[in-house]
Amino acid sequence: MNALLEHLQPYPFEKLRNLFADLTPAADRTAIALSIGEPRHASPQFVLDAVAVRLPLLANYPATRGEDTLRETIAGWLQRRFGLLQVDPQSQVLPVNGTREALFAFAQATVTASPQALVLSPNPFYQIYEGAALLAGAEAGFINATAESGFLPDFAGVPDAVWQRCQLLYICTPGNPSGAVMSLAQLQHLVDLAERHDFIIASDECYSEIYGDEAQPPPGLLQACAAMGNDDYRRCVVFHSLSKRSNLPGLRSGFVAGDARVLADFLKYRTYHGCAMPLHHQHASAAAWADESHVLANRQLYREKFDDVLAILGDKLDVIRPDGGFYLWPRTPISDTEFARRLYQREHVTVVPGQYLARNTATGNPGENRVRMALVASHEDCVEAAQRIARCLEAL
């Protein structure tokens, strides 16, 4: 077996099961899960219809690089959404089976394994970044994101010697779990660092289409490149998905876009990886990327849930409304693990302790004494969960 597998830590949800193993939740409470970020809003019917009508395409092998129609639709969406003048669908767009698979595979294709190889990511972070780094034969390094840094990674605190070792930097904007959004200026600073120290930036933007203010959509890495004259998006790639944007997590559909030279090598890797998107999924994905009305409606549903949940919890818990995404990231009045245990046992509501989403560093664990709450359940269940959390807080 690959000895590097020994370095992988249990996934947060495995830790959560162990945390609750000795507990029995209240029998008079139905379970409400705020732990897993799986969208529960209805999938768009026109996308489901597009899947159904293309089922005969199961008789055909799909190409790894994807169909022209899908790549062209994605390129058009990127241009409209981020104000880009040019995205070449032939060389700067690659469909993938969801961002999770692609984020992991990307490190395997771009990292040169060595004792000095370093892959950096935010802390807290999406655990795929760490696993991808370790199995690519690199060290996983973490940049803390705390309340003091606006819940964004403290890039200014990273020494030049660390940047010099870095081969790949993962970022997530809006962030998971905080929902913090990086500005164009902050993104451009990273592009300058990547040029100076010769590393690649992988920007996980899968929450970019869930935000509060229609007049201020979160900026993206390619947008930052274009604004500074980096028209070929050198050293930069972005990852987008239909899972959150269109409530289609089971479609396993996303894309990678950016530097054509990087994507050419990534495509070469993927032709051996055996990961082509099924043709009926490609046609359905093109339909989803071409439509914005269902995305507008989806954002409104999240706004309404944030409004009502924060009206209940806003003066009872140290919590702020996120700039993007569908998570709350409150500070807990007791340890995050004990808070999660009490909430599960007393109210049958499940949240994730923040320390499970982060790693210990010299200055501590930046997820400690926080929990992640995913407002993905129905509006009714989210409000009910907030009321139960309020009761649990009163009992502390």
Exposed, middle or buried: residue 3 (CB in 10 Å: 0-12, 13-18, 19+)? exposed
Are β-strands 352-353 and 327-328 bridged in parallel, bridged antiparallel, or unpaired? unpaired
Domain membership flag for residue 49: no
Q: Which residue has the tokens 């973490």?
A: 142
Are 210 and 299 in contact, with CB atoms under 8 Å apart?
yes
**Final residue of a structural domain among 291, 314, 346:** 291
Judgement on whether residues 11 and 108 belong to the same structural domain of the protein: no
DSSP 41-108: SPPPHHHHHHHHHTGGGGGSPPPTT--HHHHHHHHHHHHHHHT-S---TTTSEEEES-HHHHHHHHHH
Q: What is the per-residue pLDDT for 60? A: 96
Q: Are residues 227 and 305 located together in one domain of the fold? A: no
User: In this structure, are residues 363 and 144 in contact, taking their beta carbons and an 8 Å threshold?
Assistant: yes
Whether the CB-CB separation of 102 and 126 falls below 8 Å is answered with no
* Location of structure tokens 């992991």: 104
* Ordered DSSP codes for 258-285: E-HHHHHHHHHHHHHHT-PPPHHHHHHH
Its sign, for the CA torsion 32, 41, 329, 122, is: positive
Query: Which of 291, 312, 347 is the endpoint of a domain?
Result: 291
At residue 337, what are phi and psi to the nearest 5 degrees? -70, -40
Report which DSSP code applies to 229: T
176 and 192 co-located in one domain:
yes
Q: What is the pLDDT of residue 184?
A: 98
The reported pLDDT for the residue numbered 273 is 86
Residue 47 lies in a domain: no
Contact indicator for 127, 358 with CB cutoff of 8 Å: no
pLDDT of 170: 98
Laid out side by side, the sheet with 371-374 consists of 327-328, 371-374, 352-353
Shared domain for 204 and 111, answered yes or no, is: yes
pLDDT of residue 361: 94
Burial of 270 per CB tally in 10 Å (0-12, 13-18, 19+): buried
The CATH number covering residue 262 comes to 3.40.640.10
Domain total for the chain? 2
Q: How far apart are CA 113 and CA 137, in angstroms?
A: 5
Whether residues 167 and 250 share a domain: the answer is yes
Q: Are 38 and 154 in the same domain?
A: no
Pairing of strands 254-258, 93-96: antiparallel
> Which residues make beta-bridge pairs with 204?
172, 239
Looking at the structure, tell me whether residues 105 and 252 fall in a common domain.
yes
The residue among 257, 276, 291 that closes a domain is: 291
**Residue 236 pLDDT:** 98
Same domain, 180 and 280: yes
Beta bridge partners of residue 171, listed in sequence order: 203
Same domain, 116 and 127: yes
Q: Is residue 53 part of a domain?
A: no
> How far are the Cα atoms of 96, 247, 300, 311, 324 from residue 214, in angstroms, in the given order?
28, 19, 10, 21, 11
328: domain CATH number is: 3.90.1150.10
Residue 334's domain spans which residues?
3-42+294-395
How far apart, in whole angstroms, are the C-alpha atoms of residue 188 and residue 267? Answer: 26
- Per-residue pLDDT of the chain (396 residues), as tens digits, is 899 899 999 999 999 999 999 999 988 999 999 999 999 999 999 999 999 999 999 999 999 999 999 999 999 999 999 999 999 999 999 999 999 999 999 999 999 999 999 999 999 999 999 999 999 999 999 999 999 999 999 999 999 999 999 999 999 999 999 999 999 999 999 999 999 999 999 999 999 999 999 999 999 999 999 999 999 999 999 999 999 999 999 999 999 999 999 999 999 999 998 889 999 999 999 999 999 999 999 999 999 999 999 999 999 999 999 999 999 999 999 999 999 999 999 999 999 999 999 999 999 999 999 999 999 999 999 999 999 999 999 998
